[in-house]
Amino acid sequence: MKTALHEVHTGLGASFTDFAGWSMPVRYSSELAEHRAVREAAGLFDLSHMGEIEVTGPQAGDALDYAFVGRLSAVRPGRARYTMMCNAEGGVLDDLVVYRLADEHYLVVANAGNAAVVSAELTARAGGFDAEVTDRSAETSLIAVQGPAAVDIVGKLTDADLSSLKYYASTPAVVGGQDVLLARTGYTGEDGFELYVPGERAAAVWRVLTEAGEPHGLLPAGLACRDTLRLEAGMPLYGNELSTELTPFHAGLGRVVKFDKPGDFVGRAALDTRRDPDRVLVGLKGSGRRAPRHGYRLLADGEDVGEITSGALSPTLGYPIAMAYVLPAHAEPGTALSADVRGREEPVEVVPLPFYRRS
Amino acid sequence: MRIPENLSYTKEHEWVRLDGDVATVGVTAFAAESLGDVVFVQLPEVGDAVTAGESCGEIESTKSVSELFSPVSGEVTEINQSVVDGPEAVNADPYDQGWLFRVRTADLPELLDAAAYAALTQED
């Protein structure tokens, strides 16, 4: 599948990769330059492969409270919340951002690879409620502008008051003459915005952001740098740190499970018995330049104690960083472990997440 | 994608330049582009015996790890330390500053010429 911006990317000389069936830009020139642009100036991302599902109606909030582990009915209109959808066993089906647009109107944003599952499950789980589920993925584009210059770039293009648009908030806005849903959310560890727009106007929005961003050093940015940015920020990636084999507690995200909300929710009974995970997600710091990568084993005194879920040489920090699931006995920050990097043991140290926090 | 006429090539996307009995080895612009930004290069050591078609090192980019294959058999006479210290040279200048290692070799195996290599990259 191709996004509405595919020809724009081709014109920019992008290299493409398959991501969940979508042909997506992996980089335009250099992923390290794109990574640096997001940390120091701004990057422009096409995230139109992600799924957008509307939930509307008098019981929209109740339906989401039942479908997800969070309490979405308590989110105020104009605000957003990070949450998860679990199966009956407590395994994670997806991690998502839910925007409450109005009292009876929510927008659920799902990972590309899980969008069909989330849409089908939401429809099924909302069946007993006075709520309607509509999958808008096909007609919706998502463009993100991320980085310290993002607020100046978007500010030049809109009359919306960005100083009152807080992190994890959204508002309808006109940006560069185009009607968009403007959200202050992201997946890079930087300040920034995500703009939801109908596909036929995506190229126009991309163009005005490119023009406004140029004097600020904005670069188009691909999925390669998106992955190193989110890893530095300690954010989980579904398929790496999250899966149906794991609960939110494994990932250290038990706080998103709201056992105290009224009414039942899918996965509640199972999650209640799975609060003490048999392995936990940790951050690891290496030395040298050789990064432990997804799937590599972790050893303590020669014993297998865990597995790397994501790893890279951190472009910002200059040393290898990784996330891994380890036995709880080896999860304390400061613990020395070694990673089996293609047959060679490389020393790593357990460190707190995130690796990078914007100043 | 640049494919200089005066070099020989392998199916593993490496180039070879022969000066007397010394072969200089690097990766092609096509390989550098596919890898993405190279962040770590592990080369054989001077004096190592390498065998054509066998792994003798690694190239890591942000996203991937690739084995480095020696296109020729012989003894390593020199490595490019500046590429170890600054792996970005592989992307910036793969055919010159980004060379990787040199091998003294008795017999050169059959390699691809620029036209044959260009055809190979069209298939990928």
Fold designation for A51-135: Alpha-Beta Plaits (3.30.70)
Torsion, Cα of A268, A273, A279, A281 (10° steps): 30
Mean pLDDT of A45-54: 98
By C-alpha distance, the chain A residue nearest B30 is A15
Domains and CATH numbers, chain B: 8-106 (2.40.50.100)
A200 secondary structure, DSSP code? G
Mean pLDDT for the stretch of residues A170-174: 98
Spans of chain B, pLDDT less than 70: 124
- Predicted pLDDT at B122: 87
Strand positions, DSSP E, A113-220: 132-135, 140-146, 170-175, 178-183, 192-198, 219-220
Topology classification of domain A254-351 = Elongation Factor Tu (Ef-tu); domain 3 (2.40.30)
- Dump pLDDT digits (tens) for A208-254: 999 999 999 999 999 999 999 999 999 999 999 999 999 999 999 99
The helix, strand and coil proportions of chain B, stated in percent and rounded to the nearest 5, come to 20, 35, 45
Cβ of B37 within 8 Å of Cβ of A31? The answer is: yes
pLDDT tier for residue A131 given thresholds of 50, 70 and 90: very high
Per DSSP, the residues of B19-53 read ETTEEEEEE-HHHHHHH-SEEEEE-PPTT-EE-TT
User: Domain ranges in chain A?
Assistant: 6-50+139-232, 51-135, 254-351
B5's CB contacts (< 8 A; 6+ apart) are B114
Residue A190 is predicted with a pLDDT of: 98
Is pLDDT at A351 greater than 80 in this prediction?
Answer: yes
Mean pLDDT over A36-52 rounds to: 98
At A69, the pLDDT band (50, 70, 90 cuts) reads very high
pLDDT of residue B124: 57
Looking at every residue in chain A, the average pLDDT score rounds to: 97
pLDDT in tens, A78-101: 999 999 999 999 999 999 999 999
* Bridge partners of residue B105, in order along the sequence: none
The residues, ordered by sequence, that sit 6+ positions from A138 with a Cβ below 8 Å of its Cβ are A199
For range A291-315, the mean pLDDT:
97
CATH architecture for the domain at A6-50+139-232? 2-Layer Sandwich (3.30)
A interface residues, B as partner, C-beta within 8 Å: 15, 26-27, 30-32, 224, 227-228, 289-291, 293, 312-313, 315, 342
Q: What angle do CA A311, A340, A113 make, to 5 degrees?
A: 35
A-chain residues within 8 Å CB-CB of B36? 15, 26-27, 30-31, 224
**Chain B: residue whose CA lies nearest to A288:** B40
Compute how many other C-beta atoms are within 10 angstroms of the C-beta atom of residue A57. Answer: 17
Chain B, 51 to 80: residues with Cβ < 8 Å from chain A are 58, 60, 62-63, 65
State pLDDT tens for residues B47-67. 999 999 999 999 999 888 999
Tokens encoding B42:
């592990």
**pLDDT at position B109:** 86
